[in-house]
Amino acid sequence: MTQDQLKQAVAQAAIDFILPKLDDKSIIGVGTGSTANFFIDLLAQHKMAFDGAVASSEATAQRLKGHGIPVYDLNSVSDLEFYVDGADESNERLELIKGGGAALTREKIVAAVAKTFICIADESKLVPILGAFPLPVEVIPMARSHVARQLVKLGGDPVYREGVLTDNGNIILDVYNLQIDSPAKLEEQINNIVGVVTNGLFAQRPANLLLLGTKDGVKSIK
Ligand code: ABF
């Protein structure tokens, strides 16, 4: 199977998981990236089964609207049962690195509101220890050099992601060479640096369910 077929399979597994639990008032949190895009395209075939969606990025909002799926502002939504999104890495505890697509802050906000965060990924994303994928950190532009110096003190090698502005108007530093033994602790330490908006570790609020696309089928890890 190709990587795209694995992504398609986990997207379908997420649909199969949530569909029986939806009603015409349900609003679904929808993530960003190529795996999430497969999910959006499949979700569009079930428009009558739910009310609408909250998007974790402008790109996702556009894709949802393109399918005729209503997109709600998160502030107008009190109840979000499911958030479905991809990841750049996951460990067995479902702690994640996200933000390769620069949408980490909105993704973390939607994940915080959702009762159940379903991560969908192909098997290449499951790792024993997080950190081979450079950790994205969203930073207020004027704080870039200050935050980079603090990240070096934490043992990382931050690299400015040239030419990228987030949906929130901020920049991204990708932090290389971190061996992340305590993801929740590092998440907190980085978030405590003045000028950091958020970082791509999802450990304090990990996923609740990982649907992992493998050559032997979709594995479900809780
Ligand atoms: C988003 O999309 C991100 O948090 C992560 O960076 C990325 C995964 O992308 P893909 O599904 O294209 O591998 O969920």
How many Cβ atoms are within 10 Å of 15's Cβ, its own excluded?
A: 19
Output the CA angle 52-87-121, nearest 5 degrees: 85
pLDDT in the model for residue 179: 82
Q: If you measure from the C-alpha of residue 59 to the centroid of ligand 1, how many angstroms do you get, rounded to a whole number?
A: 12
CA-closest residue to ligand 1 atom 4 = 98
Nearest to 36 by CA among 77, 85, 97: 85
Residue with tokens 């939806």: 22
Pairing, β 52-55 against β 27-30:
parallel
CA-closest residue to ligand 1 atom 2 = 33
CA-closest residue to ligand 1 atom 12 = 34
CA distance 154 to 141: 20
Token pair for residue 18?
């949530």
**For ligand 1, what atom is nearest to the CA of residue 36?**
11
**For ligand 1, what atom is nearest to the CA of residue 86?**
14
Query: Quick check: helix, strand or coil at residue 176?
Result: strand
In degrees rounded to 5, what are phi and psi of residue 26? -70, 135
CA 43 to chain centre: 18
Interval 89-127: pLDDT, tens: 999 999 999 999 999 999 999 999 999 999 999 999 999
pLDDT in the model for residue 79: 86
CA distance 116 to 98: 17
Residue positions annotated with a catalytic role:
107
| pLDDT greater than 90 at residue 30 | yes
pLDDT in the model for residue 118: 98
Token pair for residue 9?
């399979």
Interval 66-85: pLDDT, tens: 999 999 999 999 889 999 99
Token pair for residue 70?
């209503």
Reported confidence tier of residue 1, pLDDT bands at 50, 70, 90: confident
Ligand 1, CB within 6 Å, residue ranges: 31-36, 85-88, 98-101, 104, 107
**For ligand 1, what atom is nearest to the CA of residue 96?**
4
Q: If you measure from the C-alpha of residue 39 to the centroid of ligand 1, how many angstroms do you get, rounded to a whole number?
A: 12
| pLDDT greater than 90 at residue 129 | yes
